[in-house]
Amino acid sequence: MISGTMRLPLFACLLFIGAFSLVGSTDSCFAPQEQPAEREGLARLVATCTKCHEDVCTEWKGTLHAQSWTDPVFQAAIADRPDKGESCAPCHAPQELMLTGFGKLPLARKSDREVGVNCVSCHMKGNRYFGPFDSTGHGGVDADASYRKADLCLSCHGQPEARAEHDQGSSYLVGTAAKDGQTCQSCHMPAAQRKLVTSPTIKEKYTIGEQACRVHSFSGARRGEVVRGAASMIAAFKSDQLEVVLTALTGHALPATEGRTVRLKIGFRDAAGVSVGEAYRAWRHGADALPATGPVTISFPAGAAQKAQLTLEQELPKVPGRDAAIIQAIAECEATR
């Protein structure tokens, strides 16, 4: 029997032992999360992909995904940051997305950052290959339906807490495109039917036929042909007002990221075509952006104007690494009384 004078010290000892085992246990919720070892030889592995998949890799090499770390605009932006871009590395130099899971912020890698967001980032976990379709290549590619969903892209483009300035996902998820079943891939990775193995030196070119895949050009806001038509615009005079109806057709808010401006310019004219006034309106990323949920109607005082010429454009401003602003037309229209 334990005496009354011994109970408290023994109880305290048991508490100490319990606390020590809790901290030391790998099963404990207090234990630090183990981060997987970083892949070695990543740049060499990505270069190997080109030997068979020339077409896809050529498309990828011309994108900002391939240049996500080396892009001069990005490098200039992080030069003055206290962390020199380390907080940006999870998306600009990620390890395999499947390590954390599609839709979750990736892990950053320390080496081979110059290969940006690459083939391995999206299509490998460990020594296994994954994609939207089954294939006999690589000893077997595992088909995963997740590749046909927006979560794949939202790993980096839908992180409102970690990177609100680059969050397209939140507006997409509440927009009409998501409700209609469209994904990021629908616009930024058009569907294609072709041979994935295109190197003439690889005999599998002749045994693996054409199959469904997607173009890896990831066309976005720096491409004028993509920006053109990113919104529709209708204008009409109503009494002493000019009513303008704008509808974002991007599937997400417009503009889609920080640092870009969408601007509406209106020139009012009399019956003879002489200028009688101008009007402007601008939208920026965040709460002030054109929504993805449907049309927006705006009215401008028109006075006695008989005609109006409207231009909707996007501006990517001059920044370190970009010598001049990039102005791209989205839509134009006219209105006459």
Give residue-wise pLDDT tens across range 118-155: 999 999 999 899 999 877 777 778 889 999 999 999 99
Its CATH class, for the domain covering 224-336, is mainly beta
Query: What is the pLDDT at residue 138?
Result: 76
CA distance 86 to 57: 27
Predicted pLDDT at 190: 92
Q: What's the DSSP call for residue 322?
A: B
pLDDT computed for residue 321 by the predictor: 83
Q: What is the pLDDT of residues 188-210, one digit of tens each?
A: 999 999 888 887 777 666 666 78
Q: What is the pLDDT of residue 134?
A: 78
Given a cut of 50, the residues of the chain with pLDDT beneath it are 1-33
CA dist 242 and 239 (Å) reads 8
Partners of residue 234 on adjacent β-strands: 245
Q: Quote the pLDDT of residue 33.
A: 47
pLDDT (0 to 100) of residue 223: 73
How far apart are alpha carbons 234 and 313 in whole angstroms? 15
Please give the pLDDT value at position 135.
76
Beta strands in 69-148 (DSSP E): 124-125, 128-131, 141-143
